[in-house]
Amino acid sequence: MIKALALEILQISEQAAIASFPFIGSGDKNGADDAATTVMRAGLNALPIDAKVVIGEGELDEAPMLQINEQLGQGGLSVDIAVDPIEGTVLTVNNQSNALTTLALAPRGTLLHAPDMYMEKLAVGPNGKEAVDINLSIETNLQNLSSALNKPLTALNVAIQNRPRHEALINRIRMCGAKVQLFDEGDVTYALATAMEQTGIDLFIGTGGAPEGVVAAVGLKCLGGKMQGKLKPVSDEQVNRCFLMGVTDLDKTLEHSDLVSSDDCIFVGTGITDSILMKGVKLAKDTVYQTESLLLSSQDQHSRLIKASYLKSAVTSLSLTS
């Protein structure tokens, strides 16, 4: 069972976040990516798994990364891995909020091999998943969500990335009377936030990275929420890449079960900088690293916020012990 790996995966995520800490505010994007990736690769290679990376970050910009189709582990349980050693590398090196590490595991063959391109995405928490659909207008979705959550339209809060491509959508949301929460980066964070009531976010919508959509889909599966997507290739090369990864119907609505088809999966994210979900890495008295992580299992369908401490003297770039 995937859940049996939860603590080991959690520790790897914590160590990757700690490895990223020296790069907060540094401006060194590749250095940060390389530090986190090195720790994740070493940690995953030490586990009793037969793992295949199906979602890796950095493919298009040639950043350091865990390569798509890379094989990891010592052999054993056969799993797919969706990983972003730093979700929000620019946020990290600019010392901005919402940067985190992410790792998601599911049985082999159950995660969509999403190409590194745009995806139209919709995410919502458990109480709204029967009310909204990516194929409905935003006006209809907001009306339906208002009824499902028993909240007036003026109390709904919609998270959407602050990009020119979303300007018309933002205006339509506001015309309905709902509130808009703009963010610069952090698709995974804001998608997961819809299933965590303390964040105050009711709906996530917009066009962003397809790989992040799959990572978020695993987390939302664990939380009982809903994720839908539609791939948006912008070139013949991207269309061909869809075909190579087995996505042949480019107009297809990718339902949650298309993004992650198993009910046996785990997600872990560790804060690098502070976010609406968790605090970032702190160095207390120059001797102890303190981390906060979100650990999610589909077997439980609830979240665990886990705090950990690591002695600085015991942490190296490749160590996975505190």
The residue type found at 209 is G
CB 173 within 8 A of CB 142: yes
Question: Which has the minimum average pLDDT: 108-112, 133-137, 308-312, 317-321?
Answer: 317-321
Q: Which residue has the tokens 């914590």?
A: 14
Determine the straight-line distance between the first and last CA of the chain, rounded to whole angstroms: 26
With a cut of 60, say whether residue 63 has pLDDT above it.
Answer: no
59 a known binding residue?
no
- Tens digit of each residue's pLDDT (9 = 90 or more) over 228-283: 999 999 999 889 888 887 778 888 999 999 999 999 999 999 999 999 999 999 99
197 a known binding residue?
no
Confidence category of residue 322, pLDDT binned at 50, 70, 90 = very low
300 a known binding residue?
no
What percent of the chain has pLDDT above 90?
A: 80
pLDDT mean over 58-86? 80
Contacts 24+ apart (CB under 8 A), 292-296: 293/10, 293/13, 293/14, 293/17, 293/268, 293/269, 294/192, 294/219, 294/267, 294/268, 294/269, 294/270, 295/6, 295/10, 295/266, 295/267, 295/268, 296/219, 296/222, 296/223, 296/266, 296/267, 296/268
84 a known binding residue?
yes
Residues 6+ apart with CB under 8 A from 279: 271, 292
- Tens digit of each residue's pLDDT (9 = 90 or more) over 27-51: 999 999 999 999 999 999 999 999 9
- Tens digit of each residue's pLDDT (9 = 90 or more) over 118-141: 999 999 999 999 999 999 999 999
87 a known binding residue?
yes
Structural domains of the chain in order of their starting residue, each with its CATH number: 2-110+265-316 (3.30.540.10), 118-259 (3.40.190.90)
